[in-house]
Amino acid sequence: MKKVPILVLFLLLLIALTGCNTEKYNNPEMIEKMINKTIEETQQAIVKKDIKMIRNLWGQISEYGIKADEIGEKRLAESIGQLASTYVYLVEYIEKGDKKLLGTFNKKYEQAIVQLKEQVELNKKIEKNQK
User: Is 47 contained in some domain?
Assistant: yes
The 10s digit of each residue's pLDDT in 20-67 is 544 555 677 888 898 899 999 999 999 999 999 999 999 999 999 999
Handedness of CA 108, 119, 24, 72 (dihedral sign): negative
Q: What is the pLDDT of residue 26?
A: 63
128 within 8 A of 28, measured Cβ to Cβ? no
User: Is 9 contained in some domain?
Assistant: no
CA angle 89, 80, 68 (to 5 degrees): 145
User: Is 75 contained in some domain?
Assistant: yes
Statement: residue 8 has pLDDT above 50: no
CA angle 9, 14, 18 (to 5 degrees): 150
User: Is 17 contained in some domain?
Assistant: no
Statement: residue 1 has pLDDT above 50: no
Q: What is the pLDDT of residue 75?
A: 93
Closest CA to 57 of 92, 84, 79: 84
The number of folded domains in the chain is 1
**Strand (E) or helix (H) holding 123:** helix 99-130
Please list the alpha-helical segments (H only) found in 19-98: 28-48, 51-70, 74-85, 87-96
User: Is 54 contained in some domain?
Assistant: yes
Q: What is the pLDDT of residue 23?
A: 54
Its domain, for residue 77, covers 23-130
User: Is 16 contained in some domain?
Assistant: no
86 within 8 A of 105, measured Cβ to Cβ? yes
